Structure 1
Amino acid sequence: MALPGGDAPPEWIHLLPAGEFRGVDGRGPYTVADADRLILNSMQGKKRLVLDENHSTDLAQEKGGSAPAVGWIVELQSRQDGIWGRVDWNKRGKALMEDKSYEGVSPAFAAAGSDVTRILRASLTNVPNLTLTHLHSQEHGMNPSDIARRLGLPESTPQAELEAALDRAGEALQLHTQVVTIAGLSGSPTVEAIVTGLKAKTTSVETHAQQQITALNDKVKTLTENASRTAAEAAVKAASDNGAVITEDMRGELVNLHMQNPASAEKIISGLPKLGKTIERHTQRKPGASDVDTQVASLLGVSVDAMKKMRGDA
């Protein structure tokens, strides 16, 4: 991208074009599917992105060389013609701009296939281009052996395999960003921090689920006990209403027994004596004696005839 004209350093620089674009050498195409998501991924966990010269952060610094910043990209903005970045220039950057040392900007970005997913940084350059390695410089891009080494592959890895590995790396970057968010973290946390965060989330979910299960079991138990007690109390009450002799102490014991063993409780209840029922004694009695006379004589401990004489009957 060409730098804006003028004597003062530009506040905003153009980083990515809108729509589908290719490098000067024909590599691509690339596209920004979701500008807002791209900006969020690029600035997540960071306050600023480095602006250097000729991709020195990616090329010189890795070999122990100097890679000073000339400014910092502190804000990204989506416009009709693409993504722009607001620059906080340092003294070195301002001097380079005043001296008109550079005429172009070359961003370094990550991509999943053709979709640009994250702007990593940008450089001042006089030979801007879009290359496979996303270092947009015609003369200072990574060579295939460097790419293979950084991907953990043999330096002799064929170009097609390198491209496939880069696609997988882009997908892994997207997954990494999502996992970091799920773990409740931000920035660039270590693998250990991500694992710890995920374990904490999992433990929290499991604990909450177990608490819900326990609470539900308690409710079921309470409802079952209440239903059992209601049925037991109804059975004892029905027996009492039908004349069974049941004391208050016996009532509580029968209810508890009925809750635990309904069959045994029903058997006991059915054998209880009932009020108003004649008690039959299997002994011979004289013909003509009424049941009442027989019962009264039995209570007095005398014969029916003796009772009648005491009563003055003929």
Structure 2
Amino acid sequence: MAYRFVTMTKHKTSPDAGTAVAIATSQAALDAEGKVRTKVQLLPFGDPIYGRDGRGPYRLADAAHAQAVIDTTLAVQNGTELFIDYDHQSVLAVPKGGTARAAGWIKALTVEADGIHGQVEWTAAAHQALQAGEYRYISPHFRFAQKDGRITRLVNAGLTNSPNLDLAAIASADMDTDEADDDEGDTKSMKAIASALGLADDASEEEVLAAIKDMMEKSTAQSAQLAAIDTTLGEVRVAVGLAADADGAAIAAALAEKTAAIDPAQFVPRASYDALAKTVREGAEAAAIAAVDQAVADGKVPPVQRDWALDLAKKDLASFHSFLDAAVPFAAGDMLNTKTDADKSKLTAEESAIASQLGLTEDQFLKARDEGKN
């Protein structure tokens, strides 16, 4: 595979044990038409990648590796945005008491055909400086595994005009190191962190970060559970009449007292209650049906009015019995149709009495009587 050359300088200190830092001059910030790019290449593919000053090798093998770099970067950032500064001042000036203004913010990271790209939102000052040609290049600041040069994550990026030798000179002047001692300390720190997380001593950076992320997610879930429990305990305190700051022992004692005061004889199991209620309903319905059928047999309810009578009896059996007490039985032939066609629209005296007892108008009774014949 062809080598990709970028200008890089390595720095000593880092919170990422077992890795080192590199800064690489990468891509011009203006496109071919002289317009400020809003999507810039931050890391190129290459296995290996060497800097022009010979530093390396660094590796960004393929799309899967690039996506792992993005995932690790986002996990470390934990919701904060990557930024672009001027001349890597956040690396070189801030440790000495200087400041590092943001030139832009990286809103998204994507894997493209030639490497990792970032979607940038420039500040107004940076956009003007780029358009005026005061700055030209984007220089990524990234971490890599010391044992094999495998790039692990992005730290940030910087606007720069520094050529290769300037970057190398800055590295040697500002970052005097005893690299062997630093590597040994990083290795010890990594082993200690891995051991605390229950991992093997030789766990990779990705494994350590994944374990830390998992621990943070579990901690967040536990915090939510504790908050829910605390809310529930507050409601219990109110229910048993305790103060808002009553402790667990006081709550337990109050609940025990409330439980002891409950008389079991005043309660029945829900299953027993449901079975009894069903029996009562079925018995009431059977009693209503029997009362209506008897009333029809006794001539106190016309057969055509059976449905009405049954509806009343089911709703209020006592009211139905009150109606029967006042009802006058009619003769067996009273409801027969012995009228001529001329008299079919009139009620007999007996029919009028029954209608009155049933609380029906003449038209309602005639309708019920004629429907019963059909």
After TM superposition, the score normalised by the length of structure 2 is 0.42
Mark the structure with the bigger radius of gyration.
1
The structure richer in helix per residue is: 2
- Which structure: greater strand fraction? 2
